């Protein structure tokens, strides 16, 4: 099986990822503070103005160009971008109405950790305004013929669950699965990333896949909280998931296109 052979070969990629991982570490404590601030701003509603203002300020502090991409009636995705040497895009995205705010908090810490990185490709961090946000951005990028520039679209969902194990979809690009496996391998046990795609699941990657983008890697904790229970989140899980995402994004944004 091609993917199985590639995952075995990812041991070599893991060594390369460690060798090229210069730069600040993911600061889990700081990301946790952002998670709490975003939760207080109301992330359970669709991207409230308070959360958008906080996110925009944090992005600009990290040296990213922040802008809103309006759609619908008063709705807007928030986008932070740092240009690289080439026009190819590495996109990391999370939904602002996610119940635990872990995805947006992880993205903000990625921005800080990569604020001074030398980028081969352009890095774009996207904060979707609810489930309609990914549909709106996919349609816009399709109209503007930007999807051909995308090297990778990574989506993060529920990355701070207390019993964290991230999974990906059967629709994920095999090359990105291999790179994700390599990025997760050096992290301390228990295993953080399942490695082999286990299922097809809905998510913010789907509007892009429907428009022909294959370079997608949805990452999500699929374990559901118990009946009538709120999501349980953990600072340790957020720090581990963030370190994993940082290694993966650093690899993709700094490496040449294969």
What confidence score (pLDDT) does residue 11 get? 46
Q: Which residues contact 231 (CB under 8 A, 6 or more apart)?
A: 99, 100, 158, 161, 225
Distance CA 141, CA 144 (A): 5
- The closest of 220, 224, 228 to 198, measured between CA atoms, is 220
For domain 2-254, is the CATH number 3.30.413.10? Answer: no
**pTM reported for the whole predicted model:** 0.88
Tens-digit pLDDT profile for residues 197-254: 877 888 999 999 999 999 999 999 987 654 444 558 899 999 999 999 999 999 998 8
What pLDDT is stored for residue 4 in this prediction? 54
pLDDT at 72: 85
Per DSSP, what are the bridge partners of residue 39?
Answer: none
Cα 18 from chain centroid (whole Å): 20
The per-residue pLDDT for range 10-21, each reduced to its tens digit, is 444 444 444 444
Contact, 80 vs 66, CB < 8 A? yes
Per-residue pLDDT for 111 more than 90?
yes
pLDDT digit string, tens, across residues 117-155: 999 999 999 999 988 999 999 999 999 999 999 999 999
Higher pLDDT, 190 or 255: 190
Q: Is the dihedral of CA 10, 31, 156, 62 positive or negative?
A: negative
Looking at residue 7, its pLDDT comes to 52
CB 50 within 8 A of CB 39: no
The pLDDT assigned to 49 comes to 64
Describe the strand order of the beta sheet including 122-128 as a list of residue ranges: 65-71, 75-82, 122-128, 89-95, 150-157, 216-221, 166-167
Share of the chain above pLDDT 70, in %: 82
Residue 68 has pLDDT above 70, yes or no: yes
């Amino acid at each position: 099986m091609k993917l199985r052979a590639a995952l075995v070969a990812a041991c070599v990629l893991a060594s390369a990822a460690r060798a090229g991982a210069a730069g600040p570490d993911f600061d889990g404590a700081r990301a946790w503070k952002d998670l709490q601030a975003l939760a207080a701003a109301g992330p359970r509603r669709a991207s409230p103005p308070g959360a958008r203002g906080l996110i925009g300020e944090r992005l600009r502090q990290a040296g990213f160009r922040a802008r809103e991409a309006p759609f619908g009636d008063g709705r807007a995705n928030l986008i932070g971008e740092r240009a690289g040497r080439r026009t190819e895009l590495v996109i990391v995205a999370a939904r602002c109405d996610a119940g635990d705010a872990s995805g947006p908090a992880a993205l903000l810490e990625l921005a800080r950790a990569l604020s001074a990185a030398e980028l081969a490709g352009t890095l774009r961090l996207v904060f979707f305004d609810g489930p309609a946000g990914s549909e709106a951005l996919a349609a816009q990028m399709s109209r503007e013929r930007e999807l051909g520039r995308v090297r990778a679209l990574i989506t993060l969902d529920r990355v701070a669950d207390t019993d964290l194990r991230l999974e990906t979809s059967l629709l994920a690009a095999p090359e990105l699965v291999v790179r994700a496996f390599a990025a997760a391998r050096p992290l301390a046990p228990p295993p953080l990333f399942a490695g082999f795609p286990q299922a097809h699941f809905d998510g913010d990657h789907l509007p892009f896949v429907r428009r022909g983008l294959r370079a997608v890697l949805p990452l999500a904790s699929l374990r559901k909280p118990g009946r009538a229970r709120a999501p349980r989140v953990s600072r340790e899980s957020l720090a581990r998931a963030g370190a994993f995402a940082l290694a993966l994004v650093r690899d993709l944004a700094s490496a040449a296109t294969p």
